[in-house]
């Protein structure tokens, strides 16, 4: 069967490929949907001026939004810095540093005294002592650690002037 012999094709256009925009619009019109006609040049000009104003407004809003986002990012950086400062403030605060300096100066003084008197200390330790205790000045009693029992002795050593530390002979 050939199309040339078919009389139904006379005067009609050949069937186009389905799926174009014109097909979709014609199907919508056949189903009863209202299909707007293409806009006229006047409407296009009006639309372009209106959309230009909207575009300018949109650009302005986007710029403001970007500026606000930058401010938020700056504030977050500052907040994180302050949190970090808070976390290390006990280490770097002036009063804490002064306490550490005082402690170090006291320990340094004690060590200097020990170094200066090391010969005397060595000679006293080498001499046999008839009593089972050695006199220790009160200011050095807290730094003195002889054995595990020193912790228990600390409460007993709170005295003025001279105190005595017992050597535990094992």
Note the pLDDT tens digit of each residue in 134-162: 666 656 555 554 444 444 544 554 444 44
What confidence category does residue 57 fall into, taking pLDDT thresholds of 50, 70 and 90?
confident
What's the pTM value of the predicted model, to 2 decimals? Answer: 0.32
Domain locations in the chain as residue ranges: 40-91, 93-127, 131-170
Q: What is the mean pLDDT of residues 81-109?
A: 88
The answer to whether 29 touches 35, Cβ cutoff 8 Å, is: yes
């Amino acid at each position: 069967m050939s199309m040339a012999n078919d009389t139904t094709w006379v005067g009609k256009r050949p069937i186009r490929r389905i799926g174009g925009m014109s097909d979709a619009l014609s199907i919508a019109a056949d189903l009863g949907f209202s299909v707007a006609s293409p806009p006229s040049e006047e409407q296009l000009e009006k639309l372009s001026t209106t959309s230009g104003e909207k575009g300018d407004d949109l650009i302005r809003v986007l710029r403001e939004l970007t500026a606000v986002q930058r401010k938020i990012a700056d504030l977050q950086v500052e907040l994180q810095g302050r949190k970090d400062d808070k976390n290390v403030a006990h280490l770097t605060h002036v009063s804490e540093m002064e306490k550490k300096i005082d402690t170090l100066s006291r320990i340094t003084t004690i060590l200097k005294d020990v170094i200066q008197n090391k010969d005397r200390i060595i000679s006293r330790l080498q001499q046999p002592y008839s009593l089972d205790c050695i006199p220790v000045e009160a200011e050095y009693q807290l730094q003195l650690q002889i054995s595990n029992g020193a912790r228990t002795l600390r409460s007993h050593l709170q005295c003025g002037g001279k105190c005595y530390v017992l050597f535990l002979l094992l």
